[in-house]
Amino acid sequence: MRMKLATSAALAISLSPVAAFADGEVNIYSYRQAFLLNPLLEAFTKETGIETNVVFAKKGLAERLEREGRNSPADVVMTVDISRLSELVERDLAASLDNETLEENIPENLRHPDGKWFALTTRARIIYASRERVEEGEITTYEELADPKWEDRICTRSGKHPYNIALFSSMIAHHGEEKAEEWLEGLKNNLARKPQGGDRDQIKAIAEGVCDLSIGNSYYYGAMLEDENQRDAAAQVRLVFPNAEGRGTHINISGIALTKSAPNRDNAIKLMEFLSREEAQRIYAEANTEYPANPDIKPTGIVAEWGEINPDSLSLQEIADNASAAVRMVDRVDYDNP
């Protein structure tokens, strides 16, 4: 059993578009680091005998696919965040797929209406709250982040980051653009500092007393608990799953799309089907402290300890459709310059 790996550094050395890989393989372009995929792909190869080849990059894979055109060796793209999946659709790089297994295993709101992408895992965009300075139950919704009581008490990363744009898009979907902008202005007014860093940095800021609340993805908290150098900071925050008693907590996804040029289409579809089933769903979710996209598979480990999640049933495609409006809204309120 083997897995071929090309790192981001190897992107400069183009994979030969002509007979680049032998039969019995599937070629993956991935925005997620290969070590996070290894357990999945090893299980897939063990079950099917199909080898996998991974090219990893932090950015630019959609542009690469465009340059390679129909001669691209890529069969599938694996990515995090709905925005990158939408980019593949907008650039006409993703193939439509009508597949009974995928449609049975992945809920309708977690896949493209025409089968151009499918979620593999979900993560909640939650509120991190100081255990010391925020009482349990003191904040329970996203809407309350705009309450003046939190003035100078909230930290976030850039409003332009795709994770925040997806959240803001969901607010537009639920409240309309005018009300969502009022909310975002209120959130901005409550910032303790200029938006900066990543989600882990917001947890660290709470631990350091810079702020009392922040917004972040649930899996970052899980990853910090598993890191002995970050565990103490993570232990100082409480997780709040906003709107759990109402419409549900906003979620984002990691997902997969079949490329229009896939030279190993049948193998690629076998991989996609495998990734939607129980074994792979458990492996992938556990490796990344995320939730399985398949609703029949319950979370395990640290994630299970957080309790049942009530996810917002809003279509991820609707969130994607609101993304441009959310970006314009962030610009209008000048969110990143409090």
The set of residues, in sequence order, having a beta carbon less than 8 Å from that of 107 and lying 6+ positions away, is 293, 295
pLDDT digits 0-9 by tens, 158-186: 999 999 999 999 999 999 999 999 999 99
pLDDT digits 0-9 by tens, 192-216: 999 999 999 999 999 999 999 999 9
Q: What is the mean pLDDT of residues 259-263?
A: 97
pLDDT digits 0-9 by tens, 289-319: 999 999 999 998 899 999 889 999 999 999 9
The number of helices, as runs of H, and strands, as runs of E, in the chain is 14, 10
pLDDT digits 0-9 by tens, 223-257: 999 999 999 999 999 999 999 999 999 999 999 99
The pLDDT of residue 9 is above 80: no
The set of residues, in sequence order, having a beta carbon less than 8 Å from that of 315 and lying 6+ positions away, is 108, 109
Q: Is-contact 52 44, C-beta < 8 A? A: yes
Per-residue pLDDT, 35:
82
- Identify which of 127, 131, 155, 151 has the alpha carbon closest to the alpha carbon of residue 139: 127
**Cβ atoms within 10 Å, residue 103:** 15
The set of residues, in sequence order, having a beta carbon less than 8 Å from that of 100 and lying 6+ positions away, is none
33: number of CA atoms within 13 Å, CB side? 4
The pLDDT of residue 18 is above 50: no
Position 4 confidence tier, pLDDT thresholds 50, 70, 90: very low
| Secondary structure letter of residue 249 according to DSSP | B
| Radius of gyration of the chain measured on its C-alpha atoms | 20
Q: Is-contact 145 216, C-beta < 8 A? A: no
Q: Is-contact 166 83, C-beta < 8 A? A: yes
The pLDDT of residue 10 is above 60: no
| Domain architecture of the chain: domains with CATH | 3-122+252-306 (3.40.190.10), 124-249+317-333 (3.40.190.10)
- What are the DSSP calls for 303-337, one per residue? HHHT----B----HHHHHHTHHHHHHHHHHHTTT-
Q: Is-contact 128 202, C-beta < 8 A? A: yes
Position 13 confidence tier, pLDDT thresholds 50, 70, 90: very low
Position 17 confidence tier, pLDDT thresholds 50, 70, 90: very low
Q: Is-contact 255 76, C-beta < 8 A? A: no
pLDDT digits 0-9 by tens, 284-294: 999 889 999 99
Per-residue pLDDT, 23:
54
The pLDDT of residue 15 is above 50: no
Per-residue pLDDT, 78:
97
pLDDT digits 0-9 by tens, 29-52: 999 888 889 999 999 999 999 999
Q: Which amino acid is at 284?
A: Y
Helix axes 82-90, 162-175, angle to 10 degrees: 90
Q: How far apart are CA 300 and CA 298, in angstroms?
A: 7
Q: What is this structure's pTM? A: 0.89
Q: What angle do CA 324, 327, 331 make, to 5 degrees?
A: 140
pLDDT digits 0-9 by tens, 92-136: 999 999 999 999 999 999 999 999 999 999 999 999 999 999 999
Decide the pairing of beta strands 118-130 and 251-258. Answer: antiparallel
CA distances from 325 to 147, 172, 315 (A): 23, 8, 16
